[in-house]
Amino acid sequence: MTAPYSPDDREKVVAKLPTDLRRELKVRAAELSEDIQDAVTAGVTSWIKLKSHPAVDTSGGSSFSTYLPAGLYEKLKSASSSRGISYNQGVAQSIRHWLDTHPSSRRSAPSTTGARRLVFGNQKGGVGKTSVSAGVAQALAEMGLKVLLVDFDPQGHLTKQLGYPMLGIDAPSLAKHMLGDTEGDLRELFVPIKGGDFEEQLWLLPSCKDAFLLDAKLATTRAVRIKEIALERVLTEVEEEFDFILIDCPPSLGYTMDTALYYGRTREGEEAGHSGLVVPVQAEDTSGDAYDMLADQVDDLCEDLKVEINILGFVVNLYDARNGFIATSSLESWQNMDEPVLGVVPELKEQREAVRRKEPLLAYEPNCEQAQVMRKIARRIKE
């Protein structure tokens, strides 16, 4: 049967919707592995055929945009006018109708395996570990999941890009907690990340200016296996409060990276793939060389400690096919690896603009192509 609308011929539509309705739409679409634009298209198409629909409270609405197939937008406006309601009310009713006819698939029973732990790492700097980990964290939080994003890089790029100050060198920090050099509750260091439809679901553990000392101090400790368990010992205390904990790692193969990899291992009683390593790369050769070194480190750690660390997949970041054979052949090489490519993030201006403005990408440009890819990666990881 031929689809009534071409999925490739779409036009942008903008409406004013209440935050709760926008958030519910994004959460439900993520649960059902549905693109938001396809969900809205289905809702509008079905709503137009209805004789009537209960009114939706649209007070306090803010801007929401998506893409509808060409022609459907005009039909939506015409149907709204004929029913004597505003265009915004027509969009709200369409979304409400889709939500009511597509119930949540979320299980009522909570997970018994604890927070899923995602380690974003690559020995090579500049591949986009920070932007990918931040984008995926925002996308997971949009789904209604509680997420902790840990800036584990002493350079603090994640903290700065999101517009927060690094912790002072004399202040309590994650590194001090790991080394037993401070007391107090780790939760006191968490800051909520504001903006977008992930508010109240996403927290940041900022980097500290003393974090560059962590590797050296771990190297000189004589305590048995403290090098590997140091991060887990600290974060275990808060795991029950989160669905996901994401670690943005430094471009290093040192002891600090060992602690992160160990934290992302498959624990006893967990299914393979519950937690693990996500590797941001670029479509060029040096990323492959860096990955080889990281893979060797993972293999050595698994052999030495008799553990299993799953590589969940690659994210090919900053991809631009206009770079020709180097880019396209490299992407093909990543796609032919044993581990899957979770997503290909295009090289576009929105991410750079968000960094410059010190805003989360999914708050600054929630409907841009890069944001949509982050949501697809999050859905694949969550499945």
DSSP 147-169: EEEEE--TT-HHHHHTT-PPBPT
Q: Quote the CA–CA distance of 189 and 366 in Å, as a whole number.
A: 27
Question: Directed axis angle between helix 87-101 and helix 19-31, to 10°?
Answer: 40
The whole-model pTM stands at 0.79
Which of 291, 276, 248 minimizes the C-alpha distance to 128? 248
The one-letter amino acid at 94: S
Which of 128, 114, 149 minimizes the C-alpha distance to 267? 114
Give me 307's structure tokens. Answer: 């553990």
Q: Quote the CA–CA distance of 117 and 156 in Å, as a whole number.
A: 20
Q: Quote the CA–CA distance of 160 and 24 in Å, as a whole number.
A: 30
- Specify the DSSP element, H or E, that contains 77: helix 72-82
Question: Directed axis angle between helix 255-263 and helix 285-305, to 10°?
Answer: 70
Q: Residue holding tokens 């999925």?
A: 7
Non-local (6+) Cβ contacts of 183 within 8 A are: none
Instruction: Classify residue 103 by its DSSP letter.
Output: -
227-252 pLDDT, tens digit per residue, is 788 899 999 999 999 999 999 998 88
Handedness of CA 136, 34, 111, 314 (dihedral sign): negative
299-325 pLDDT, tens digit per residue, is 999 999 899 999 999 999 988 888 889
C-beta separation of 206 from 159 below 8 A: yes
- Specify the DSSP element, H or E, that contains 16: strand 10-17
Higher local confidence (pLDDT), 285 or 56: 56
261-296 pLDDT, tens digit per residue, is 999 999 998 998 999 999 999 888 788 888 889 999
Question: Where does the pLDDT of residue 1 fall: very low under 50, low under 70, confident under 90, or very high at 90 and above?
Answer: very low
In this prediction, residue 5 carries a pLDDT of 45
Non-local (6+) Cβ contacts of 304 within 8 A are: none
60-91 pLDDT, tens digit per residue, is 778 888 888 988 989 999 999 999 999 999 99
In this prediction, residue 224 carries a pLDDT of 45
How long is the chain? 383
Domains delineated in the chain: 10-101 (1.10.1220), 116-382 (3.40.50.300)
Q: Quote the CA–CA distance of 380 and 383 in Å, as a whole number.
A: 5
C-beta separation of 98 from 21 below 8 A: no
Q: Quote the CA–CA distance of 196 and 210 in Å, as a whole number.
A: 31
